[in-house]
Amino acid sequence: MEQRGGTILAVEHLTMRFGGLLAVQDLSFSVERGQITALIGPNGAGKTTVFNCITGFYRPTQGRIALTNGTPLSRPLLDRLTGSSLRHLREGTNEVFLLERMAGHEITAKAHVARTFQNIRLFSGMTCLENLLVAQHNALTRASGYSVLGLIGAPSWRAAEARSIERASAWLERIGLIGRADDPAGDLPYGDQRRLEIARAMLTDPVLLCLDEPAAGLNPRESAALSALLRTIRDADGVSILLIEHDMSVVMEISDHIVVLEYGLKISDGSPESVRDDPKVIAAYLGVDDAEVAGAEAELDATVAGRST
């Protein structure tokens, strides 16, 4: 796979502790620009926790999360930024953000990282169109002159509003929901809600899109449509994708790069082929390997038999 522009997100030595539980331990991986990177692992491995650290919902116990805009990550710039107390630093066309220092909304507004949620979080009492307009909040707030131009109905505001509606409609068209633009988001079937949430995240103009189990609850046809959508987001919109997914058919089909977590530790990292054949990954997904399973079963049988006598 050719690397278009190198690393966009570098996660280094990320650790997240909840009381006595180490949800993520010393995790390092990177997301390459223009690629789909998948983060997989059994339930409770800490995948969503990693997302929450990247998008500012949790403050990591330790570690550095660096995002760069535009050009490949510049190490000297990153080191200077880390040494300072700033949140982001720009040098020419090079700009680096330290996400662990930023608040959740800033990460979306300034660093342009967007996300979706494992349990869909649409504004269910607002229409599909309204959901997509809320996503353009920051750009529209500036266009509305912080509400002043909007209140007096200035022509520049009207034009900006019309453009935002056009963008939203284009996305509704793209995800096949234009006919339901005026229906409340909460009324949509599950698969449609997942696509609408992705469109909403895309309308924040992200450079990196983080999707938490977008194929959960989809039927095979919807999963295939989702794979196609994610590919066009990568290829046509030029947005890098970080994806958590349990559906291996989707993961293996569209990922350029896979990172595997188990109990908060990275156990494998590489191309789909290398990860698929990694014995550690197979063990993690099947519990242990076959010989050990047989052994454990025999042991268990013996214990049970021993107890019942």
Residue numbers at the binding site for ligand ATP (CB under 6 A): 18, 21, 23, 41, 43-49, 118
Please state the closest distance from residue 46 (CB atom) to Mg ion, in A.
8
Pattern 112-131, binding to Mg ion, x per CB under 5 A? ------x-------------
Pattern 236-275, binding to other proteins, x per CB under 8 A? ----------------------------------------
- Please give the full DSSP string across 42-75, using - where no structure is assigned: STTSSHHHHHHHHTTSS--SEEEEEEEESS---H
Q: Which of 70, 75, 84, 125 binds other proteins (CB under 8 A)?
A: 125
- Interface with other proteins, residue 154, by CB under 8 A: no
| Residues 56 and 104: beta-carbon distance below 8 Å | yes
Strand residue runs (E) in the chain: 7-18, 21-32, 36-40, 62-69, 88-91, 94-98, 113-115, 208-212, 240-244, 257-262, 265-270
- Interface with other proteins, residue 193, by CB under 8 A: no
- Residue 93 makes CB contacts below 8 A (sequence gap 6+) with 70, 71
Contacted by 70, from other proteins, Mg ion, ligand ATP, none: CB < 5 to 8 Å by type: none
Among the listed residues 173, 172, 174, the one whose alpha carbon sits nearest the alpha carbon of residue 185: 172
- The token pair at 273 is 């082929």
Please state the closest distance from residue 263 (CB atom) to ligand ATP, in A.
9
Q: For ligand ATP, which is the closer residue by CB, 23 or 175? A: 23
Give, as ranges, the residues between 14 and 73 that touch other proteins (CB under 8 A).
55, 57
Q: Which of 35, 37, 48, 55 binds Mg ion (CB under 5 A)?
A: 48
| Residues 231 and 174: beta-carbon distance below 8 Å | no
**How many helices and strands in the chain, by DSSP H and E?**
13, 11
Please state the closest distance from residue 63 (CB atom) to other proteins, in A.
21
**Residues at the contact surface with Mg ion, assessed by CB under 5 A:** 48, 118
